[in-house]
């Protein structure tokens, strides 16, 4: 199988990047897109050229590290999968596949397809934890949690921090990510004592990182591989008002 890759190459944040074309004609449709990049890198090593820098860890849709734009869509042409779960059988023999890093001012390109997503880490550090001193591990059923509450919390907890929501949003808003992390903890009784502080500190950090405002276009929800709902953003906004009144 032949694919004509057009891949963003950029040596450092300070340098300008450009799309470079690579024709690879010994691929198979069973290869994942990351395996195709591995293979291309092997060919580049043999040609004594610089390999393409790209990020991954789990390669099974869990860690959120592999996000890139593929033919203009975050994580490629299919809904609800990550880049590492995309296979070449989604393309035709001879297709051109354009691969670029996330595009957002708060996610500067470090090298080739790798961007700096440490802004997400700082949002997490600002409040996505529970610091109540609870002693030793309590009996699992000591705090009863209604099924619908635990479902809400677990649905929000599914966010893998990939950054597709930011990269897709025309405002580069991190509202979907931040709201998922807030609602995961604020929905549960264990997160209640710090709920007001958490929502104020995490949303303040989100703004300090330079992410844009949410204007509810819904693009983030469409491209999110974990189907995180924008209802989380509405919930976060309501929590901000409550925290300002009662916090």
DSSP 53: P
Q: Quick one: which of 40, 176, 188, 199 contacts ligand SF4 (CB under 6 A)?
A: 176
By CB under 6 A, tell whether 162 contacts ligand SF4: yes
CA pair distance 132, 48, nearest whole angstrom: 55
Q: Which residue stretch of 12-20, 43-51, 63-71, 141-149 sits at the interface with ligand FES (rule: CB under 6 A)?
A: 63-71
The nearest distance, CB 48 to ligand SF4, in angstroms, is: 37
Conformation bin of residue 210: beta by default, left when phi > 0, alpha when psi is -120 to 50: left
The nearest distance, CB 212 to ligand SF4, in angstroms, is: 14
β-strand 114-115 against 109-111: which pairing, if any? antiparallel
- Cβ nearer to ligand SF4, comparing 24 with 231: 231
Burial class (CB in 10 A: 0-12, 13-18, 19+), 239: buried
Q: Quick one: which of 31, 44, 51, 63 contacts ligand FES (CB under 6 A)?
A: 63
By CB under 6 A, tell whether 32 contacts ligand FES: no
Q: Which residue stretch of 12-20, 42-50, 78-86, 180-188 sits at the interface with ligand FES (rule: CB under 6 A)?
A: 78-86
By CB under 6 A, tell whether 229 contacts ligand FES: no
- Cβ nearer to ligand SF4, comparing 36 with 236: 236
CA pair distance 128, 191, nearest whole angstrom: 9
The continuous run of DSSP H or E covering 167 comes out as helix 164-168
The continuous run of DSSP H or E covering 242 comes out as helix 231-246
- Residues forming the site for ligand FES (CB under 6 A): 56-59, 61-66, 82-84
């Amino acid at each position: 199988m032949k694919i004509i890759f057009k891949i963003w190459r950029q040596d450092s944040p300070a340098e300008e990047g450009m799309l470079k074309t690579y024709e690879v004609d010994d691929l198979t449709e069973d290869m994942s897109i990351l395996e195709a990049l591995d293979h291309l890198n092997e060919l580049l090593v043999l040609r004594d050229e610089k390999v393409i820098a790209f990020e991954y860890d789990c390669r099974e849709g869990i860690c959120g590290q592999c996000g890139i734009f593929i033919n203009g869509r975050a994580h490629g042409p299919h809904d609800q999968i990550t880049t590492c779960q995309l296979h070449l059988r989604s393309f035709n023999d001879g297709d051109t596949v354009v691969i670029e890093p996330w595009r957002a001012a708060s996610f500067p390109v470090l090298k080739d397809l790798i961007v700096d997503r440490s802004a997400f880490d700082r949002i997490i550090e600002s409040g996505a934890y529970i610091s109540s001193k609870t002693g030793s591990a309590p009996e699992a059923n000591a705090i009863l949690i209604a099924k619908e509450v635990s479902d809400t919390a677990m649905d929000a907890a599914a966010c893998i921090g990939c950054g597709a929501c930011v990269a897709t949003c025309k405002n580069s808003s991190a509202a979907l990510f931040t709201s998922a992390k807030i609602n995961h903890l604020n929905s549960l009784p264990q997160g209640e004592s710090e709920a007001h502080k958490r929502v104020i500190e995490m949303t303040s950090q989100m703004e300090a990182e330079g992410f844009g405002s949410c204007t509810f276009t819904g693009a983030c929800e469409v491209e999110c591989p974990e189907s995180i709902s924008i209802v989380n953003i509405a919930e976060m906004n309501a929590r901000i008002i409550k925290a300002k009144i009662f916090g």
